[in-house]
Chain A
Amino acid sequence: MSEQLHDLEMRAVYARTLIELANENPNIICMEADLSKASGTNPAFLTAHPDRFINAGVAEADMICIAGGMAVEGKIPFCASFTPFATRRVYDQVTISVAYANTNVKIVGTAPGITAGPNGGTHMCFQDMAIMRAMPNMIVLSPCDTYELRECIKWMAAHEGPVYVQLSRMKQPAVFDESYRFNPDKAVKVREGKDVTLVTTGYMTQFAVKAANELAAEGITVDLLHYPSVKPFDTATLIESAKKTGKVVTVENQSIIGGLGGAVCETLSENHPTPVKRLGIPDKFGEVATEDYLFGKHGFGVEHIKKACR
């Protein structure tokens, strides 16, 4: 059996995809701020295209605005750092030199939410989705596995304009396969059901799938909507599903304020008011912890998802 894409770490697929894009397009640039080994681009991209690997050092603000300047000259820079430093630390730089100026800059936030694990509260960013979503011109993506990640990165390179993507770095179980194609305007219906609508994105989708499978054994069928794009947000699929089930649960690796749960509530309250239960991090900071510990503490692991769906 040859190597399958889901056997690789997510960051390895990010680097590999970026190299493939760079092989074909001389304008693709890999930018880093001293976390290139963590992002997976060093040594892979650095070795493949050393002239188009720009390390800004520990200077994220400079990195984002250098990228803005390069984009004005036709380059397509992909700027990676840990999510807190790729978003909240440089919020004004991204707002003005990328979103307001509408430059063709791609921002990659690595180790999102609880996946920052042992780095603790300083590095555990729960609000990047909310703050990036609130920015005009910005597209916000959160792929769940390597197949989707690869398609998202290709789409980002082809799309003219600012895009933010969350990248969990480690191996993730496959939700999709080689046939997957990304469409930013469509939610993916991973399971079809009639009892409850379960809405997820990014890292949490694998747990939502598990919950949905186990609920099926109990006789509860879940309409499972995975959103690789939280902005643009496919409102039609959500409204249609809510009309069918009359009950919605959201789960995300983020604060429940302003992210996926926020998008769902905004959409339904204006279009088809439906009871919604939001799972994720309440209004709290992170801490050094394991995933299971945080799932238990804040109530958004598989068992909690199942309970909320019943």
Chain B
Amino acid sequence: MSEYSPDVVRKLEEKANQMRQDIVVMVGAAQSGHPGGSLSAADIVAALYFNVMRYDVKNPKWADRDRFVLSKGHASPVLYAALAEAGFFPRAEIITFRNINSHLQGHPDMKKLAGVEFTTGSLGQGLSGAGGMAIAGKLDKKDYRVFCMIGDGESEEGQIWEAAMSAAHYKLDNLTAITDWNGLQIDGPNAEIMNVNPLPDKWRAFGWNVIEIDGHDFTQILDALSPESRVEGKPTMIIAKTVKGKGVSFMENACDWHGKAPSEEQVKTALAELCA
């Protein structure tokens, strides 16, 4: 395992914490949205946007940028929090989330917000789209990387496994996917609703380079996302064990917070915890 300086890790912790605050504020303001799976993904998305990926906020369509596709599009608050923090749009606008005419649509819309790389929300489609971007990168002899986050519930979609096949078949080693493995979906635990396990074995069997990590440990996250963790000729799947609702005690591991907005009082409590 690599050593990362305390400064690197501290910076990412601060970014992720700010993003978690923004997620809570956003969903609270909208009184609608999906906080649980946004909070579980926050550390990984923070690592992508504030350490791993190359991009230019002043030139969002820069041809050589790395791309991130949030296939589990209902976790849009985590993407919007990262894009705001990175400077793609003013943070003050996060409170327009899910409002009429807002560029912060319920699910990410690439035609409405710079920095969104693919329109997602109908589960199972984003990983195929990311595969298409990776194929295009190979055809164009570009060295950009394509990252794609999927959900564990989303992995019940058959199309995920179509994309698993095609990405391996086309040897898309420029594609790194991450499964936000928080174990819960809207109706209950994966294991009770539709068992997706054993996830790591499945992805290995489909021909992917599989890395299992703690999705809240920045050393493990950075190691897994680093270019050195890739294997030539294979796409990489990072199976990240996470906690749904991570960082807000009353939301952690609670299925109800998949798609529920906190009250004004609960927003205050959550922010107090995050700022403590």
Contact = CB atoms under 8 A, between A and B. Distances in A.
Contact of A68 (B132, B139, B162, B170): B132
Q: How large is the interface on A (under 10, 10 to 19, 20 to 34, 35 or more residues)?
A: 20 to 34
A268 interface: no
A118 to B, nearest CB: 28
Interface stretch (A90-98, A142-150, A152-160, A223-231): A90-98
A260 B136 CA distance: 37
A97 B159 CA distance: 13
Nearest to B166: A62
Interface of B: 69, 109-111, 117-119, 121-122, 124-126, 128-137, 139-140, 158-159, 162-163, 165-166, 169-170
A171 interface: no
B111 A102 contact: yes
Contacts, number: 103
A57 B165 contact: yes
A165 interface: no
Nearest to B120: A96
A110 to B, nearest CB: 21
A57 B132 CA distance: 14
Contacts of B170: 54
A72 interface: yes
B129 A65 contact: yes
> What 6 A-B pairs have minimum CB-CB distances, sorted nearest first?
A69-B132, A65-B128, A73-B136, A62-B162, A69-B129, A66-B132
Contact of B166 (A51, A66, A96, A102): A66
A95 B121 CA distance: 12
Contacts of B139: 51-52, 75
A92 B132 contact: no
Contact of B129 (A54, A66, A75): A66
B159 A62 contact: yes
Nearest to A75: B136
19 contacts: A59-B159, A61-B158, A61-B162, A62-B163, A65-B125, A66-B166, A68-B132, A69-B129, A69-B134, A72-B129, A73-B136, A75-B132, A75-B136, A93-B125, A95-B122, A97-B118, A97-B119, A97-B129, A100-B119
Interface string A26-64: 000000000000000000000000011010110101101
A70 B136 contact: yes
Given A61-B125, A65-B125, A73-B136, 17 more contacts: A54-B135, A59-B166, A61-B124, A62-B159, A62-B165, A65-B132, A65-B159, A72-B129, A73-B132, A73-B137, A74-B136, A75-B132, A75-B139, A97-B118, A97-B119, A97-B122, A100-B119
A196 to B, nearest CB: 45
Contacts of A57: 165-166, 169
Given A96-B121, A101-B111, A66 B135 contact: yes
